[in-house]
Amino acid sequence: MDLVTVDIGGTHARFAIATVADDGSIALSEPVTLHTDDHASFQTAWEDFRRLNGGTLPPRVAMAIAGPVGGDVIRFTNNPWIIRPRLVKEKLGVEQFTIVNDFEAVAHAVARADESQFLHLAGPDQPLADNGTISVLGPGTGLGVAHLWRGDGQYRVQATEGGHIDFAPLDTIEDAILARLRKRHNRVSVERVVAGPAISDIYETLAAMEKRAVSQRDDIEIWTQGMAGTDSLAAAAVDRFCLSLGSVAGDIALAQGGFGGVVVAGGLGYRLRDTLLKSGFAQRFTAKGRFESLMAAIPVKLIVHPQPGLFGAAAAFCREHN
């Protein structure tokens, strides 16, 4: 069986053809990445992919969407597209479809991926638990959060909006970051601090603390120079980001009971893999006071599957449609 699998975020919409074998294994074609800013709607992006695919597509589609997926109208968190589920069959010309939250799809990928698809980040170097809850999060244009429970060879996935919990600073630098963000937002969520665009606010906060006059720079430039080490202030901002990400990952594990493991995902998480290993991410993850020993026993992994959203959306389709 073939189906179109789609992973739609704030910046990119990724498409691929998924082939599901008789044994349930899933293989993906080479993905096609389209910019959401280049298309007025999901339907026009779909038509563009259909044209690139020779004018025809399988009559089944699995969609992973960055935002809540319930209701008659689905609105994306970080792009202006909307999808009306009752019109999907008509507008796209498909017979079956599945729509899941983007990190719900990633959690499906975590449940289905084998151990070779994970890189160890922190805690005991052991596989994710076969029984228990696993927390999944990933920084990108926003901060995606989900969790899954598995046991007796089965699993269940729960989408969440955990990226919108309150940010809790742990030191004076994070106090300063919070104060800067409070000038623009009455309520500061963790997504304002540990998503890709947040590096600009972190960088500018550090510059202000050192009374440096810095020119306006976009987040991509800061990430590039910080990870390359060509700008010491940008490098400090990247390290600070990793610290905050460790804190948030630990908070989410505590809240969800993710004691079977924590998985970091997303394109930015993958690009940060070497930096995370050298940063204070692991120390911040376990820095939970009376629960430090509990946190230290949790394996923390990075999923290195090249397209977990596409793979997971296809897996979600298979579960829904048997």
Q: Does the structure show a pLDDT above 90 at 266?
A: no
| Structure token digits, residue 270 | 């993958």
Is 67 assigned to a binding site? no
Q: Using pLDDT thresholds of 50, 70 and 90, give the confidence band for residue 67.
A: confident
> Tens of pLDDT along 124-179?
999 999 999 999 999 988 899 999 999 988 999 998 989 999 999 999 999 999 99
Q: Using pLDDT thresholds of 50, 70 and 90, give the confidence band for residue 286.
A: very high
Query: What is the pLDDT, as a whole number, of residue 142?
Result: 87
Q: How far apart are CA 302 and CA 194, in angstroms?
A: 16
Query: What is the pLDDT, as a whole number, of residue 234?
Result: 96
Residue 173 in contact with residue 181, Cβ under 8 Å?
Answer: no
Is 132 assigned to a binding site? no
Q: What is the dihedral of CA 281, 77, 168, 220, to 10 degrees?
A: 50
Q: What is the mean pLDDT of the chain?
A: 93
Closest CA to 144 of 189, 205, 80: 189
Residue 309 in contact with residue 110, Cβ under 8 Å?
Answer: no
Which residues, in sequence order, are CB contacts of 190 under 8 Å at separation 6+? 143, 162, 163, 164, 165, 166, 167, 244, 248, 251
Cα angle 138, 33, 146 (rounded to 5 degrees) comes to 20
Closest CA to 19 of 310, 303, 270, 320: 310
Is 8 assigned to a binding site? yes
| pLDDT average, residue stretch 80-93 | 93
Amino acid at 9: G
Is 162 assigned to a binding site? no
| Structure token digits, residue 266 | 């997303």
Q: What is the dihedral of CA 245, 10, 84, 75, to 10 degrees?
A: 60
Distance of CA 112 to the CA centre of its chain: 17
Is 261 assigned to a binding site? no
Name which residue leads in pLDDT, 78 or 228. 228
> Tens of pLDDT along 236-246?
999 999 999 99
Q: How far apart are CA 41 and CA 81, in angstroms?
A: 5
| pLDDT average, residue stretch 20-36 | 93
| pLDDT average, residue stretch 96-108 | 94
Record the pTM.
0.89
Q: How far apart are CA 252 and CA 210, in angstroms?
A: 32
Report the greatest alpha carbon distance in the chain: 63
Q: Does the structure show a pLDDT above 90 at 11?
A: no
Instruction: Compute the half-sphere exposure of residue 250: CA atoms within 13 Å on the CB side of its CA.
Output: 28
Which residues, in sequence order, are CB contacts of 233 under 8 Å at separation 6+? 203, 206, 207, 210, 212, 214
Structural domains of the chain in order of their starting residue, each with its CATH number: 2-113+305-321 (3.30.420.40), 162-303 (3.40.367.20)
Is 93 assigned to a binding site? no
| pLDDT average, residue stretch 105-114 | 94
Q: Using pLDDT thresholds of 50, 70 and 90, give the confidence band for residue 270.
A: confident
Q: Does the structure show a pLDDT above 80 at 77?
A: no
> Tens of pLDDT along 198-214?
999 999 999 999 998 87
Which residues, in sequence order, are CB contacts of 5 under 8 Å at separation 6+? 15, 16, 17, 18, 28, 61, 62, 64, 310, 311, 313, 314, 317
Q: Does the structure show a pLDDT above 90 at 217?
A: no
| Structure token digits, residue 147 | 């969790």
